[in-house]
Structure 1
Amino acid sequence: MATSTTGIAGPVAKQRGLIFRHHDFRWFWGGQAISVVGTRVTAIALPLVAALTLGTGAGGVSVIATASFLPNVLLPLFVGNWLESRRRRRIMVYADLLRAALLALVPLAWALDRLSLPLLAVVAFGVGSASVAFEVGSFAYVPSLVDEEDLPAANQALQGSATVAQVAGPGFAGLLVQVAGPAGAIVVDSVSYLASVFGLTAARQPEPPPEVDTTMRAGLLEGVRQTLGNPILRALTTHAAIFNMSGQILTVNLVVWLVKERQLSPGGYGLALSAGGVGAFCGTMMALRLARRLGYGRAFASALMLSCGAPLLLATFPFHGYALGAAVACVQLVSGTGLGNANVLSVTLRQVGAPRGTLARTSAGYRALIYGVIPFGSALGGVIGQLAGSRTGVAVGTIGFAVSAIPMVRRQIRTLRDPKDARQLVEQAPAAASEPGEAVARES
């Protein structure tokens, strides 16, 4: 495959100053950096409102968690189909305003003594639904906001702020809940979405009209068809779906194995897992440098060696207590570094590998497929842990991680020097798919 002469090496030096030189992206990123922290606060505070303010048990907390997650399974295909022919920034502003208004109902209802579990469930589902619209729209909006050569830097900045929120958000949320109470903490997220609105509306340049692919068929499943028919998106989706399902198998069993069977304290368990967030931030910041040195495909493969390979050690550890916690923290740090790196590279590959006229639908198809497997992973993890033991469940989950890397280390993808080179794979896909005996969705 021909090597791009301008791809990684030249633009990266320019990309380092994207936030400072690009007015519109700077405001967009600033609003997002604030809103993702608020989102992490609500992820902690909303279940606490049910548990502490309403006095519900595990069942009530489960209702809130289910209502928050359900839109990710039910709505992406509808949203992607609807957004494809519409300007995304306006929809994103409406989604932020809706999230802010819904969350504001919680402290208001608490003040009026009208707070109830059904109300919290409605708020959780509504916020989750608006979040699906915002995130699908954002994926398609960023390539119209910045030049294509700036996409890696834009995604690095957005992933970096999200990772910081992931690491610092739970601690900040806990402190806020302690000071202001669960309902009061929800106010922070409501206000944070207004900061996102401000960042979106501060753009000087009008959003260009969306590029619509007139050859695409109508129908909700078109996004899935486009995703599975595109060799880059198919490999990324297969990897992410197997990774997510394996992650659920691991998560369900890891807490039982570490805390109940190997005497690691809950505090030690939390600290061990938090090392993954630290690693993810480091990996996010290293992503473009690694891509410049190794090439895009090899950088991705190297990241997957860490994120999907390091966890294989977990089930082999013979330790107990804090020694086991320290060993798990080391694995989480290494794995998180690879994951943070891969997340930056993945988003850019998806944005460049999909034609502009299909960004919303393919993003929705990708999202539906990788989130849709999560309930199956949770159920399978429970069955494995129950029948074969939690340590076996941990082993199965980590083996699934390793298997998930296979679609992304094929030579076609591994030898990509620049994300733009992915277009050659996409252009060759129709001819390859038409060869006898080859199915569109099969990895070969």
Structure 2
Amino acid sequence: MPAAARSAKGQDRRPHRNFRLLLIGETTSKLGTSVTSVLLPLVAVTTLHASPFVMGVLTAAPWLPWLILGLPAGAWVDRLAPRRVMLVCNAVSAAVFVSVPVTWWLGALTLGHLLGAALISGAASVFFSTAYSAYLPQLVPTQDLMERNAQLQAGDQTARVAGPGLGGLIAQTLGSVPGLLLDAVSFVVSSLCLTAIRSDVPRPAPAPRRRLSREISDGLRFVVGDPQVRAVTAFGAAVNLAMAGLQAVQVVFLVRTVGVDSDTLGWLVSCGGLGGVLGGLVAGRLATRMGSARALLAIQFAASPFGLLAALTGPGPRLAFFVFGTAVMLAGVVACNVIIVSFRQAYCPSELLGRVTATTLFLNYSTIPLGALLGGSLASLFGARPTMWVVTAALVAAGGFLLVAPLRGLRDLPGAPAADG
């Protein structure tokens, strides 16, 4: 084979290799995070005897840094190399989750330490998520973003399926606290995969430095001023409000109201997460056949009402309500997310992508602490089952933001980069 042909073939393979490394690292990291999503509440409930309200605070803690760091993170990421930011964030998160078992072995673990670990890891996640969303378009051609985002979401949801079951098994064998070391290891694997990525894409020339407030306002103006971006951002914020309330109350609901043990809790959440895998796999096909805007509407209003079934969960056969209801609901949430993220990455100007991503994530994630605190407060006042009805109904109502013009009249969301200014 001629040298030029071999070189072209190697260059053709490299984007696929780079994406595979990113996919492996992210899926592994999400597996560790998924295990922690079960183990950390179990540590709080069984080891430190946390109340429902404290559980709501613990659920909200990883998201609170978005309220402070979310907007400036976009401006900082646009000034820095995204991969370097991601590596630093992985190192911080690994150290945080090593500290919890160490403190427990020393007999000094407190709820304050758990809350602090959640806050610090949440701050690292602010920068990682912003850098990650800006980094993916550097590795993947624009026309492939929907497919690649779908694969990443499918990997994420696969980790969410496997993680709770693995978390329940670890809790039964090793204990909840030592199991948190798995999350620390997953961040190390993610960093190794990021380090192995080789990209020929040159870094763009740095833009002239301006005041941080001016750069933040650029992202805000784009998100608020563009009708399509504004509508999907409001929808995402409403969905996260409802899902955070559900996450805050579901462990208390399943353990204390329904009466499941830690092992059953793990596989219940895992079975529900199978829907998320399906949603990630079918999102691109539905968007291609129906049009991305029409698919977004159809998925939301077809899938979200099934979440109401989760509130009917009870012992024995009635556990099927939780499995089926959350599976269909999560399929819809993930499929909508694939479509929205791909639209944002393809539509936003590249020089603004970090700031636009940070602004949308700030607005989306700022509702998560509120939803978690509301879920925990409602469960303390009225009980876990009535709260399950409220939060799942709120998820259905979130679709109202997609019914506004111009989304209602579109077949496809715009895919070409928006004109500057």
Q: 2:296 aligns with which of 294, 300, 306?
A: 300
Q: Which moved more, 1:144-153 or 1:298-307?
A: 298-307
Q: Which amino acid aligns with 1:69?
A: W
1:172-207 C-alpha deviation (Å, 9 max, x unpaired) = 122223333334322222121111111111112155
Change (3 A) 1:256 1:402: same
8 Å CA contact 1:236, 1:408 repeated in 2: yes
Q: Which amino acid aligns with 2:183?
A: D
Indicate the residue corresponding to 2:185 in structure 1.
191
Q: Distance in 1 between matches of 2:118 and 2:292?
A: 38
Q: How many percent identity over aligned positions?
A: 32
Which residues in structure 2 correspond to 1:32-181 (within 5 Å)?
A: 32-49=26-43, 55-58=47-50, 64-111=58-105, 115=109, 117-181=111-175
8 Å CA contact 1:86, 1:209 repeated in 2: no
Q: Which amino acid aligns with 1:277?
A: G
Q: 1:162 Cα shift?
A: 0.9
Which residues in structure 2 correspond to 1:25-424 (within 5 Å)?
A: 25-49=19-43, 55-58=47-50, 64-111=58-105, 115=109, 117-206=111-200, 208-210=202-204, 218=214, 220-248=216-244, 264-266=258-260, 274-311=270-307, 322=316, 324-378=318-372, 380=374, 396-410=390-404, 412-413=406-407, 416=410, 421-423=414-416
Q: Distance in 2 between matches of 1:250 and 1:176?
A: 24
1:80-126 C-alpha deviation (Å, 9 max, x unpaired) = 12112221011111111222233233344455566555444433322
8 Å CA contact 2:59, 2:248 repeated in 1: no
Change (3 A) 1:324 1:184: closer
Q: Which amino acid aligns with 1:297?
A: A
8 Å CA contact 1:68, 1:128 repeated in 2: yes
Q: Distance in 2 between matches of 1:156 and 1:393?
A: 32
Q: Which amino acid aligns with 1:94?
A: V
Give the SS at the match of 2:175: helix
Indicate the residue corresponding to 1:14 in structure 2.
none
Give the SS at the match of 1:22: helix
Q: Distance in 1 between matches of 2:376 and 2:92?
A: 36
Q: Distance in 2 between matches of 1:64 and 1:380?
A: 12
Q: TM-score, normalised on structure 2?
A: 0.80
1:54-88 C-alpha deviation (Å, 9 max, x unpaired) = x4220676665454332233321121121122210
Q: Distance in 1 between matches of 2:93 and 2:65?
A: 14
Indicate the residue corresponding to 1:11 in structure 2.
none
Q: Distance in 2 between matches of 1:145 and 1:247?
A: 31
1:14-38 C-alpha deviation (Å, 9 max, x unpaired) = xxxx999611111111111111111
Indicate the residue corresponding to 1:433 in structure 2.
none
8 Å CA contact 2:70, 2:362 repeated in 1: yes
Indicate the residue corresponding to 2:8 in structure 1.
none
Output the aligned Cα RMSD: 3.8
1:307-351 C-alpha deviation (Å, 9 max, x unpaired) = 334346677x7x975454434433333222222221211210121
Q: Distance in 1 between matches of 2:102 and 2:215?
A: 40
Q: Distance in 2 between matches of 1:181 and 1:252?
A: 22
Q: Which amino acid aligns with 2:232?
A: L
Q: 1:212 Cα shift?
A: 6.8
5+ unaligned residues in a row in structure 2: which ranges?
1-11
Matched residue count: 404
Q: 1:140 Cα shift?
A: 0.9
5+ unaligned residues in a row in structure 1: which ranges?
1-17, 431-444
Q: Which amino acid aligns with 2:190?
A: S
8 Å CA contact 2:160, 2:270 repeated in 1: no
8 Å CA contact 1:416, 1:422 repeated in 2: no
Q: Distance in 1 between matches of 2:274 and 2:384?
A: 26
